[in-house]
């Protein structure tokens, strides 16, 4: 494997790669040319991601595997499902999208993850992790014609649904291959002569024949068959960590070196024709082939453009930084505070807390359901758990939010990051639905801060509240409002007045679009109120508006069932209620682009809102 010291800034010469537009071209190469192709693909990936920005480390780790899979299998008839989708850049390059790869994550460009609408080679859309085995199982369960492969990252194996699918695969036993791409270097010492030797034996056609013949003979002696199976499993357990997969009914092979292209080719070629569910464990390096990425796997998970211009305000603190400062401060004064995250320590802003209070910090891995129930258990013991979680990931723990926290009215605080439209990661990562799915749950307090200082005020309020409370805030930087709040809180369910006018137009803002709401208030000479809370609403304020008022609600969440809907519900049984128009994210998936572009696509930019409001006000005057 060729190793690079830095990301190339000049387009590399890639003669072999240039001859491969689709997997059918790849199959024309000699097997001995694959290693050279891997070097070219790695260099091209480094260059292209350096130009576009995007996910880097995971793709570098699966260069050899991607080539071998497309060399051996016949996609798109054979299904290759990538989990997590960060791994799929090399796959996209080899499946007709090489010339478009620099458009990845841009408006109108390639999606950041596999997307069935984008290519027939993307067998299943991926955003959240741990879905590949279940999807592959569904594809393989009734299809004996084509091959099915699921490639799952090591982090994704911590999620419960991955093991649910494994258990089901062991029960119905379809012909499928599951590949665990394990880039945890702490177990790399398992890749050695003995384990590789046994892996080759277990994946050999000779062993397959002996095993099949033995099964046929021993089936007439049930007790002997059971003993032989137990001995085989124990032998494998002596030299590999695969006994748990064997117990689930899968044929475990590995671990093998995921960067040894010849080893991968030989083992996968044999496994391709094995009957029943096969589980291949490969060891890779995240960031493989780029020295600085191998040393800093977290920092090079994703990168910005190598020559990106310096953006004004780029030194502004992000919302995750505001949360980080807040929770560390609270950790010093609140001895029962416990921080929990499902594998998002860096992204959620818990690095400093984890170092300062390691005994009160828990990363539960990609297990959102467990994170919430774990927090509920801590609350039962009198602790003050704070679950730091992305909005789109909290969706996966909705049952636990309802049954384990809200139903029991437990004191759990949810710090919900990446709320609303997130930008380049697209609809799989946009947190558009949290206001909707939390608003209908009894006992919940839901706050939507408009800026950095409000975020701290509302986090203070949520933590002091003895019951379930959520504070949701967007990705990236805010309007750069100075944080002056320390330990202050605000009354739950009370808004703040930004601007009050005598005419009968009022704008009710929920969340991070306040700067746009301020422009609208100036344009229409309207009163402006930052509502702060979606649940409970400020009913004292709402009751002050009569039929002469025209109310405009604005939120950075789904308009269907969101905060504006809550306002309408308040007025539905009241006489002399005002006219109401709600603006939020429409009932469509907004595709990947920059956050500002996504806001405009949703009709929530200042210019589009001004036009929409003008049109609405005209209809009201008729």
| Residues identified as active-site | 286, 368, 396
Distance (Å, whole) CA 247 – CA 334? 45
Distance (Å, whole) CA 113 – CA 424? 11
Distance (Å, whole) CA 334 – CA 328? 10
Which stretches of 296-382 are DSSP H helices?
Answer: 319-333, 345-348, 351-356, 368-380
According to DSSP, residue 359 is labeled G
According to DSSP, residue 407 is labeled T
Q: Which two tokens stand for residue 178?
A: 């599951």
HSE at residue 335, side-chain half, CA atoms within 13 A, is: 0
For residue 24, the surrounding DSSP H or E stretch is helix 23-26
According to DSSP, residue 220 is labeled T
Distance (Å, whole) CA 606 – CA 610? 6
Q: Would you tell me how many other CB atoms lie within 10 Å of the CB of residue 511?
A: 28
- The full 3-state SS of 136-153, as one line of letters, equals HHHHHCCCCCCCEEEEEE
- b (16+ CB within 10 A) / e for 414-436: bbbbbbbbbbbbbbbbbbbbbbb
- 3 state DSSP class of 181: strand
Q: Which two tokens stand for residue 458?
A: 């509302």
Smallest Cα–Cα separation from 174: which of 78, 54, 276? 276
State the angle between helix axes of 261-271 and 63-72 in degrees (0 to 180), rounded to the nearest 10: 40
Distance (Å, whole) CA 341 – CA 388? 5
Distance (Å, whole) CA 538 – CA 545? 12
302-303 and 54-55 beta bridge pairing:
antiparallel
Distance (Å, whole) CA 373 – CA 201? 43
Prior bond of 255 cis (ω within 30°):
yes
HSE at residue 72, side-chain half, CA atoms within 13 A, is: 23
Smallest Cα–Cα separation from 46: which of 89, 96, 1, 99? 89
- On whether the CB atoms of residues 153 and 58 are closer than 8 A, the answer is yes
- b (16+ CB within 10 A) / e for 382-404: ebbbbbbbbbbbbbbbbebbbeb
User: Cβ neighbours of residue 540 under 8 Å, at least 6 residues apart?
Assistant: 494
Distance (Å, whole) CA 27 – CA 480? 54
DSSP string, 410-472: ---EEEEESBB--STT-TTT-B-SHHHHHHTSTT-EEE--SSHHHHHHHHHHHHHSSS-EEEE
- On whether the CB atoms of residues 111 and 592 are closer than 8 A, the answer is yes
Prior bond of 536 cis (ω within 30°):
yes
User: Cβ neighbours of residue 170 under 8 Å, at least 6 residues apart?
Assistant: 248, 249, 250, 277
């Amino acid at each position: 494997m060729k190793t690079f010291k830095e990301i190339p800034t000049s387009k590399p010469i890639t003669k072999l790669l240039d001859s491969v537009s689709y997997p059918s071209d790849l199959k024309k190469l000699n097997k001995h040319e694959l290693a050279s192709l891997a070097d070219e693909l790695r260099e091209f990936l480094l260059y292209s991601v350096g130009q576009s920005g995007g996910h880097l480390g995971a793709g570098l780790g699966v260069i050899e595997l991607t080539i071998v899979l497309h060399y051996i299998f016949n996609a798109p008839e054979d299904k290759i499902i990538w989990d997590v989708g960060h791994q799929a850049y090399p796959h996209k390059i080899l499946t007709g999208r090489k010339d478009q790869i620099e458009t990845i994550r841009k408006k109108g460009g390639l999606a950041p993850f596999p997307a069935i609408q984008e290519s027939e080679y993307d067998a299943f859309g991926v955003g959240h992790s741990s879905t590949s085995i279940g999807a592959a199982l569904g594809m393989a369960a009734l299809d004996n014609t084509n091959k099915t492969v699921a490639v799952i990252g090591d982090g994704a194996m911590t999620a419960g649904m991955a093991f649910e699918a494994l258990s089901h695969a062991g029960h119905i036993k379809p012909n499928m291959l599951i590949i665990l791409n394990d880039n945890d270097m702490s177990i790399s010492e398992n890749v050695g002569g003995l384990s590789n030797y046994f892996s080759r034996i277990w994946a050999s056609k000779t062993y397959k024949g002996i095993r099949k013949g033995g099964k046929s003979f021993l089936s007439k002696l049930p007790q002997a068959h059971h003993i032989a199976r137990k001995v085989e499993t124990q032998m494998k357990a002596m030299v590999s960590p695969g006994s748990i997969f064997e117990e689930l009914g899968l044929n475990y092979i590995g671990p093998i070196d995921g960067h040894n292209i010849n080893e991968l080719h030989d083992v996968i070629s044999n496994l391709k024709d094995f009957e029943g569910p096969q589980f291949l464990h490969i060891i890779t390096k995240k960031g493989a082939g780029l020295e600085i990425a191998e040393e800093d796997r977290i920092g090079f998970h994703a990168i910005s453009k190598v020559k990106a211009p310096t953006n004004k305000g780029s030194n502004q603190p992000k919302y995750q930084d505001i949360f980080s400062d807040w929770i560390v401060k609270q950790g010093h004064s609140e001895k029962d505070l416990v921080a929990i995250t499902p594998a998002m320590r860096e992204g959620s802003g818990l690095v400093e807390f984890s170092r300062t209070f390691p005994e009160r910090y828990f990363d539960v891995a990609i297990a959102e359901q467990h994170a919430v129930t774990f927090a509920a258990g801590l609350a039962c013991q009198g602790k003050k758990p704070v679950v730091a979680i992305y909005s789109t990931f909290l969706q996966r723990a909705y049952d636990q939010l309802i049954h384990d926290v809200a139903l029991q009215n437990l004191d759990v605080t949810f710090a919900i990051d990446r709320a609303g439209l997130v930008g380049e990661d697209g609809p799989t990562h946009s947190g558009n639905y949290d206001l909707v799915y939390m608003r209908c749950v009894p006992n919940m307090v839901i706050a939507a801060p408009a800026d950095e200082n409000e975020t701290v005020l509302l986090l203070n309020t949520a933590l002091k509240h003895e019951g379930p409370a959520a504070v949701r805030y967007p990705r990236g930087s805010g309007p750069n409002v100075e944080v002056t709040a320390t330990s202050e809180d605000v009354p739950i369910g009370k808004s703040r007045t930004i601007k009050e006018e005598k005419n009968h137009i009022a704008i009710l803002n929920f969340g991070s679009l306040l700067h746009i709401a301020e422009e609208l208030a100036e344009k229409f000479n309207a009163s402006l109120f930052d509502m702060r809370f979606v649940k409970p609403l400020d009913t004292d304020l709402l009751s002050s508006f009569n039929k002469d008022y025209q109310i405009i609600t604005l939120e950075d969440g789904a308009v269907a069932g969101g905060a504006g809907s809550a306002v309408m519900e308040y007025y539905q049984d009241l006489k002399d209620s005002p006219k109401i128009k709600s603006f939020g994210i429409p009932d469509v998936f907004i595709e990947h682009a920059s956050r500002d572009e996504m806001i405009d696509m949703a009709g929530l930019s200042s210019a589009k809102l001004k036009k929409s409001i003008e049109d609405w006000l005209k209809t009201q005057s008729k």
